[in-house]
Structure 1
Amino acid sequence: MMFDFLQPLSDDLVIDIHRVSNQALGKKVILHNHQETPVLEEDTIAIIGVLDNRGLNSVNTLEDLDEIRLQFYNLFPGNWNTNIYDLGDIIAGSTIEDTYYVVKTVCAELIKKRIIPIIIGGSQDISYAMYRAYDNLDQMVNLVAVDGKFDFENGQNSELADSYLSKMIVDEPNNLFNYCNIGYQTYYNSQEEIDLIEKLYFDAYRLGEVSHNTTIAEPVFRDADIVSIDMRSVKSSASGNKKPFVPNGFNGKEICILARYSGISDKVSSFGVFNHNNSKEESVLISQVIWYFIEGYHYRSKEYPIGTRENFIKYIVPIEDEELVFYKSNYSERWWIEIPFTNSSNKLKRNTLLPCSNEDYILATQQEIPNRWWKAQRKNSI
């Protein structure tokens, strides 16, 4: 049973949560406590804490996530009609691999029930365990990381939180179809890492690009299965996290916009927020990031994958030796582009339509092939 791996919320925390306003989230969320184990329904959301940050330190220093929960449950919900559960915490295992196994097992069970796990974790290497939860789902996986670094490091002294992506690429079974980084800062990444992103046909957007125009990230989240947010991608003046001090990064508004894009995506089935210092200041922002993800979830349009084309306008753009086929939704006015399907693997059939933007269509009419289309086509043909 999944609940065998989950530590219920403490009685003291439950008492504090019940003190919030009758209209606040604390009175709306179904809590896993020592008196009651919730009965889970499909098409819902489950919040889970992971009390393990050994990916940042050799010794685990994460004791609880109570402050994040208290900040979140004092917020007021939007016009939400989906059950939200707080399933408690996964405690640190004897080894980090033990923690990975439990996170993988719990997430896999939730995803199969169409319940979206929101992981408020310790270190970002927990994303690797979330990725492994998809092993038995017979699909390729797209990961989007909001992060100032690519987390490819493989040096002897590298922290797990800075090297988990290498494990995803190397370890079997290899189900990673695409990785996209949102907000990388060039001086935190070696040229070899930047070159590797290109060689693997992965996507990356610099901090300045996204800060200047956050809408360029929306199609990327629309094609993601897992979204992993590194709180060190937020500048310290916005997060309150001074260890380490981050002079440049997203501000509070931008990180909440990206969380909302994640929630709106019909495809995102797991979401995590990592590498925080558990301070009260940062907990305020994390609670709002979670709020915006759930707000976005309630505005999902269920347009993707596209089952019928009758509510879409089809555009065909001749360019060089290709015909680029675009679809625009009459409902949301969002865009998709068709990727020529040349691989016989059943796992890749879902990737024949790639979310894109109106700007991509305009570029195509000017005889410029969208970069993400080119990369996706190359990966589909491998």
Structure 2
Amino acid sequence: MYAPWLQSDYLPQPGHAPESFGYHLLQTAKSEAKVAIIGMHPAWADQVRDCLYGHFWDHGDLQVADLGNLRKPSVDFAIPLLKELYVSGILPVLIGASPLLAEAQYLAFAEVNREVGICSIDSKLRLSYEAAAEGDRRFLDRAVHRTNSPAFHLAHLGDQRHLSDPRLDLLFLSRHFERYPLGKSRSDLRDLEPAIRDVDLTVLNINAVLAAEAPSQSEIAPSGFSLQEAGQLAYYAGNSDRLASFGIYGAQPIGQNQPDRLTAAAYAQLIWYFLHGVSRRHADFPTTATGLVEYVVDSKVNDRFVFWRSPRSDRWWVQVPIDKATGEVRNRLVSCSYADYVAASSAGELPERLFHAFSRY
């Protein structure tokens, strides 16, 4: 079915134990898969597989298949493949190197006319203040500066202020996007969970991780998330019922040397924790409020706010005021936290993040 786009030439190490990740991948029929691992950069993806296949399996009955590597590592070639996966309800996990290939994750959603929310975890904002020429394009440019089907929402985590154009603050404010610089992101990772839960795809650049823990990076910086923290963010992404695409990029491998092996192990660990989150999903993404508990809060700026809580996961959402509710129904319940509910119920005002979420309508 996916043969026109993929090649399967990876030779796994022999003798995988029944408890191993690789054994489960090799035993899963590709036609039954709900999650598909795809290499966007073949040689690098195979190094990551060498690490990933040896991990223990702890993902229950999650159906994961390795579909192989992209035959041509280009954005335009990848778009129809990813579109086919999205339409089929299969979640792709993409192992990449160049961050520009992450454009395909978004553009494939645009092909199916979806209002798309993007989460980027990166050490810098790979976005131009204004639309850039082809040769100067950054991977978020085609999502944000498109005149047709621009991104509905962007949440950016972990950028370092000295590496990002300060003019982008104005762009984020004007579009009501979310931005959590590295210091704010690390202060309490739990504050990032609602932002990650409110998007359709996540792009994780390995440059967001400390260079000491993933040294084969395309751009080295002394600061960043620890690999453990990045693994927690990957778990949040996987655990979101809404999320339909996940990719890791940013490696600059040289060969089978120690830095490359360590970085490949970091990729494998992040993928493992992402899939761990997928295997523990709660199936409570609220396209409607059915099955949720309603909490009505009086407001100083609106007649009332309506919050919803899922008994299955204890996760929270707030409803966009009905007079502003345009666009897709699935976007009308905005992910939030119990702390957001407490803040609104005690002061009658919305936290800043939710104010910006409502302003997107």
Q: Could you tell me the TM-score, scaled by structure 1's length?
A: 0.86
C-alpha distance 49-310 of structure 1, shift in aligned 2 (>3 A): closer
User: Match for residue 216 of structure 1?
Assistant: 191
Task: Give the superposition deviation at 1:159.
Answer: 5.7
3-state SS in 2 of match to 1:196: helix
The answer (yes or no) to whether the contact 2:214–2:266 under 8 Å persists in 1 is yes
SS in 1 for 2:18: coil
Alignment match, 1:22: 18
Task: Give the deviation of 1:344 after TM superposition.
Answer: 7.6
Alignment correspondent of 1:317:
298
- TM-superposed CA distance for 1:92, in Å, is 3.4
Moved more, 304-313 or 170-179: 304-313
**CA contact 1:313–1:329 (8 Å) conserved in 2:** no
Q: Which letter does structure 1 place at the counterpart of 2:77?
A: V
For 2:352, the aligned partner's letter is N
CA contact (8 A) 1:48 1:90 kept: yes
Query: Does the C-alpha gap of structure 1 residues 174 and 203 become closer, same or farther in structure 2, counting only changes over 3 Å?
Result: same
- Deviation at residue 210 of structure 1 after TM alignment: 1.7
2:94 aligns to what? 119
CA distance in 1, matches of 2:132, 2:84: 34
- Give 1:376 shift: 2.0
1:3 is aligned to 3
User: CA 1:342/1:259 → structure 2, altered by over 3 Å: closer, same or farther?
Assistant: same
Answer yes or no: is 1:268 the counterpart of 2:248: no
Deviates more, 1:191-200 or 1:149-158: 149-158
Q: What is aligned with 1:89?
A: 69
Moved more, 136-145 or 285-294: 136-145
Match of 1:296 in 2: 277
Q: What residue is the counterpart of 1:204 in the other structure? A: 179
1:243 shift after superposition? 5.3
Indicate if the aligned counterparts of 1:313 and 1:330 stay in contact, CA closer than 8 A.
no
Q: Deviations over 1:5-40 (max 9, x none)?
A: 101123xx23x2x333332111110489xxxxx542
Q: 1:133 aligns with which of 104, 108, 123?
A: 108
The answer as to 2:332 corresponding to 1:352 is yes
Are 1:74 and 2:65 counterparts? no
2:309 matches 1:328: yes
- For the residues of structure 1 that align with 2:140 and 2:27, how far apart are their CA atoms? 33
Which residue type is aligned with residue 9 of structure 2? L
Mind listing any 5+ residue stretches in structure 2 that lack a counterpart? 254-259
Tell me, yes or no, if the aligned pair for 1:20 and 1:27 is still in contact at 8 Å: yes
Q: Percent identity of the aligned residues? A: 24
Check the 8 A contact 2:121/2:156 in 1, yes or no.
yes
- Per-residue CA deviations over 1:59-97 (Å, capped at 9, x if unaligned) read xxx74422100100000011420211111111335xxxx
1:299 and 1:7 map into 2 onto residues whose CA distance is 30
SS at match of 2:158: strand
**Counterpart-to-counterpart distance in 2, 1:90 and 1:164:** 19
TM-score scaled to structure 2, two decimals?
Answer: 0.90
- The answer to which of 265-274 and 107-116 deviates more is 107-116
CA gap 1:318/1:218 in 2 versus in 1, 3 angstroms: same
Other-structure match for 2:203: 228
Q: 1:129 to 1:23 in 2, by over 3 A?
A: same
The one-letter code of the counterpart of 2:40 is V
Structure 1 gaps of 5+ residues are: 33-37, 52-61, 94-98
Please tell me the residue identity of whatever aligns with 1:338.
Answer: Q
- 324, 333, 339: which one aligns with 2:320: 339
Q: CA RMSD in A?
A: 2.3
Q: Which amino acid aligns with 2:39?
A: G
CA distance in 2, matches of 1:242, 1:63: 16
Q: Which segment is superposed worse, 151-160 or 102-111?
A: 151-160
Task: State the shift of 1:196 in Å.
Answer: 1.0
Change (3 A) 1:322 1:204: farther
Specify whether residues 242 and 114 from structure 1 end up closer, same or farther in structure 2 by C-alpha distance, changes over 3 A only: closer
User: Which of 151, 156, 163 does residue 126 from structure 2 map onto?
Assistant: 151
Does the CA-based 8 Å contact 1:339-1:373 persist in structure 2? no
- 1:181 to partner: Cα distance: 0.1
Give yes or no for the alignment of 1:245 onto 2:220.
yes
CA contact (8 A) 2:297 2:348 kept: no
